[in-house]
Amino acid sequence: DIQMTQSPSSLSASVGDRVTITCRASQTISRYLHWYQQKPGKAPKLLIYAASALQSGVPSRFSGSGSGTEFTLTISSLQPEDFATYYCHQSYSTLTFGGGTKVEIK
Amino acid sequence: QVQLVESGGGLVKPGGSLRLSCAASGFPFSDYYMSWIRQAPGKGLEWVSYISSTSSYTDYPDSVKGRFTISRDNAKNSLYLQMSSLRVEDTAVYYCARGGNGWLDFWGQGTLVTVSS
- Mean pLDDT across chain A, nearest whole number? 97
- Please tell me the predicted confidence (pLDDT) of residue B113: 98
> Could you tell me which of B82, B108, B111 has the C-alpha nearest to residue B97?
B108
Question: Positive or negative CA dihedral for B104, B73, A42, B37?
Answer: negative
Do B103 and A100 count as a contact with CB atoms less than 8 A apart? no
Low-confidence spans in chain B with pLDDT less than 70: none
Q: B18 exposed, middle or buried (CB, 10 Å; 0-12, 13-18, 19+)?
A: buried
Residues 6+ apart with CB under 8 A from B96: B4, B6, B20, B22, B24, B34, B35, B36, B79, B81, B107, B108
Helix (H, G, I), strand (E, B) or coil at B74: helix
Closest approach of A12 to chain B, Cα-based (Å): 19
Nearest to B95 among A34, A43, A95 (CB): A43
Judged against a pLDDT cut of 90, whether residue A105 lies above it is answered with no
Judged against a pLDDT cut of 90, whether residue A106 lies above it is answered with no
Computed over its alpha carbons, how large is the radius of gyration of chain B? 13
> Could you tell me which of B18, B23, B4 has the C-alpha nearest to residue B92?
B18
> pLDDT (tens digit, 9 = 90+) per residue, A18-66?
999 999 999 999 999 999 999 999 999 999 999 999 999 999 999 999 9
